[in-house]
Amino acid sequence: MVAVGTLATLVVAALASLFMAWAIGAGSSGSTPFAPAVGANAISVMRAGFIVGLLGFAGAILQGANVTNAVGTELIGGVTLTVTAAVIALITAAVLVALGVFAGYPIATAFTVTGAVVGVGLAMGGDPAWAKYQQIVTLWVLVPFVGGGAAYATARMLRSEWVSETSTVPVLAGVVGVLVANMEFAGLGANGSSASVARASAVELAGTMFGETVWFVASVLVAGVVAAAIVGRWVRTDQTRGQRRFLLVLGGLVAFSAGGSQVGLAIGPLVPLLDAVTVPLLALLVGGGLGLLIGSWTGAPRMIKALAQDYSSLGPRRSIAAMIPSFAIAQTAVALGVPVSFNEIIVSAIIGSGFAAGGSGVSKQKMVYTVLAWVGSLALAFGLSYGVFTLVSNVLSV
């Protein structure tokens, strides 16, 4: 039986988590996926916010477990986060993200949540999880170079006079199809574990004629060919309209991936508290997904407009170039269970595709302010959460 005082504190922690989910939905996961599509005039701002909310909710349920567990249990060693620590970490990060939303600057959510959780964990006397930090920092550092570089190269290829877009766009769609076939979903694996569609199909078909590896490769290739054929038909019928339809599909995939990654930032700190109230992880994912949904519907349009118009004047080709590496990086982070900022992913890709056109429409001043906001939010979240937890602990012990 949970004591009344403990139950009240858990309710406060849940409310803090919901606030964090709203802030993420309004900022990172709600604004970034469809920003390039809005910039390319493929969809309106309000419709983008509505659709991204639904897809983010689905992603949170089907792909949210990996990052959620990582944030809740792998960022600090030797201690388990208490209810007080979880509340302080969540409120600190949520306030910083919310300030970024209202100021019009995309704060890197993964930076603030990671900094806040590590801050309270160390204040509790925990040990740094150096191996996990190395994995996280490596991905964070690589994102601008890999995402921006891939977006730049793709945009240059699409703009080249030597390459026909009716050929290159379907090829890119085939690559996306291969990535989709390898996306892991909850419940597709053995005993309810996660598995990709390609892997699950291979397991079911193994032994009928060929081995599992053969069926896996065949499933992946079929997904790529089908995606290429569908998009190829679109662009051959109407090139501009076909590109925009492909861009909307990419936006949907990134929105789904954002839900799978970002929900962990909102509810991860609550994972160590589940045993006290015997709440299943799925219920936590649903609650976090609903928070993302509400945030996307109520606060995302402001940030979508900021990203679509302030960073680069995008056309369909440059937007496609930005979204493909963003989707690939997002799914990599989800599979590894690494908290990653979708603002960093999308902004880097937008800038890379923008420079492919000579840097037209790219605000260098905005870029500098954004990077400073990212670094500052990490340091500020760590310092504030560490200081606040230490102060609260001292007061409670008096």
- If pLDDT is split at 50, 70 and 90, which confidence band does 363 have? low
Residue 292 lies in a domain: yes
Runs of H (alpha helix) within 74-164: 83-103, 109-123, 130-159
Predicted TM-score (pTM) of this structure: 0.86
Q: Which of 263, 261, 298 is nearest to 283 (CA)?
A: 263
- Cα→Cα distances 64→30, 60, 117, 357, Å: 16, 5, 18, 36
Whether residue 240 is predicted with pLDDT greater than 90 in this model: the reply is no
pLDDT at residue 311, rounded to an integer: 46
> How many domains does the chain contain in total?
1
Which tens digit of pLDDT belongs to each residue from 81-116?
888 898 899 888 878 877 776 766 656 788 999 999
Question: Of the given ranges (53-67, 75-89, 133-147, 353-367), which has the lowest mean pLDDT?
Answer: 353-367
pLDDT digits (tens, 9 = 90+) for 213-235: 898 999 999 999 999 999 999 99
Q: Is 212 contained in some domain?
A: no
Let me know if residue 169 belongs to a domain: no
Residue 76 lies in a domain: yes
Residue 224, in any domain of the structure:
no
The answer to whether residue 187 is domain-embedded is no
pLDDT at 101: 63
Domain of 76 in residue numbering reads as 4-160+253-397
pLDDT tens per residue, range 41-77:
778 878 888 888 899 999 999 999 999 999 989 999 9
Is 245 among the domain residues? no
Q: Which helix (H) or strand (E) holds 226?
A: helix 212-237
Residue 189 within a domain: no
pLDDT band at 29 (very low <50, low <70, confident <90, very high): low
Instruction: Please tell me the number of Cα atoms within 13 Å of 98 on its side-chain side.
Output: 16
Average pLDDT, the chain: 84
Residue indicated by tokens 């994912």? 285
- Residue 370, pLDDT > 80, answer no
Q: Whose structure tokens read 């603002």?
A: 343
Q: Is the confidence at residue 140, as pLDDT, over 70?
A: yes
CB atoms inside a 10 Å sphere around CB 392: 16
